[in-house]
């Protein structure tokens, strides 16, 4: 029987790591392109409908959003989405600096969850993000979201096609996920608990 999903609560939004919450908890970060479904994934994972505010307007998340999970189990950190075309170059550069600064400086980061749309795979911007994981030696795994949009056979084929590249680049796993029906939620929680256990 799956373990009970811990409580979750929004703590604060910060422009950089220097203004992160002071409680010294391990951090699980969620990264992905704008509108790939980061907020929906976090809401599904925590079984809360509006914990992370999702928007029909891509690029809404511009800060590091921290959520405390359980009774000080860890933080979930919702990172700014990247790759949204309809913002100015200055905003894109600010997002890029925020992301890179977090990858470089977050001393409590123990796992990054990279969210990819299973229907589209990894874009060049996703591959740049994977490069950053390697440069800064960040453990990571991939979540292939929106899996409910494909048939069972198409899902398996897409996972097979993507897994080889992702695992060869250092992903711990490539998990099929649906925020609509919570497919993959127990598997992702197992990976998060394993990372926390290894950290301790």
Tell me: pLDDT of 91 over 70. Answer: no
C-alpha to C-alpha distance for 40 and 34, rounded to whole angstroms? 12
Q: What is the largest CA-CA distance in the chain?
A: 49
Nearest to 63 by CA among 10, 5, 25, 116: 10
What is the per-residue pLDDT across 27-70, written as a single tens digit (0 to 9) for each?
999 999 988 888 899 999 999 877 876 544 444 457 899 999 99
Residue 1 maps to a domain: no
What is the per-residue pLDDT across 152-198, written as a single tens digit (0 to 9) for each?
999 999 999 999 999 999 999 999 999 999 999 999 999 999 999 99
Which domain covers residue 188, as residue numbers?
8-199
Mean pLDDT of 116-135: 93
C-alpha to C-alpha distance for 138 and 19, rounded to whole angstroms? 21
- The count of structural domains within the chain is 1
pTM of the complete model: 0.90
Residue 124 maps to a domain: yes
């Amino acid at each position: 029987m799956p373990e009970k999903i811990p409580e979750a609560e929004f703590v604060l939004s910060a422009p950089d790591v220097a203004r992160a919450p002071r409680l010294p908890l391990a951090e699980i970060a969620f990264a992905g392109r704008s509108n790939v479904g980061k907020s929906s994934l976090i809401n599904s994972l925590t079984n809360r409908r509006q914990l992370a505010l999702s928007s029909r307007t891509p690029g809404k998340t511009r800060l590091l959003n921290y959520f405390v999970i359980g009774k000080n189990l860890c933080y979930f950190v919702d990172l700014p989405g990247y790759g949204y075309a309809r913002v100015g170059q200055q905003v894109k550069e600010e997002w890029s600096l925020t992301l890179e600064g977090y990858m470089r400086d977050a001393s409590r980061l123990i796992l990054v969850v990279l969210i990819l749309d299973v229907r589209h795979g990894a874009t060049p911007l996703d591959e740049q993000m994977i490069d950053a994981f390697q440069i800064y030696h960040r453990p990571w795994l991939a979540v292939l979201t929106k899996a409910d949009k494909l048939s069972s056979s198409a899902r398996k084929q897409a996972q097979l096609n993507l897994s080889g590249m992702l695992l060869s680049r250092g992903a711990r796993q490539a998990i099929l996920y649906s925020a609509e029906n919570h497919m993959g939620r127990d598997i992702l929680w197992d990976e998060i608990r394993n990372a926390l256990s290894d950290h301790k």
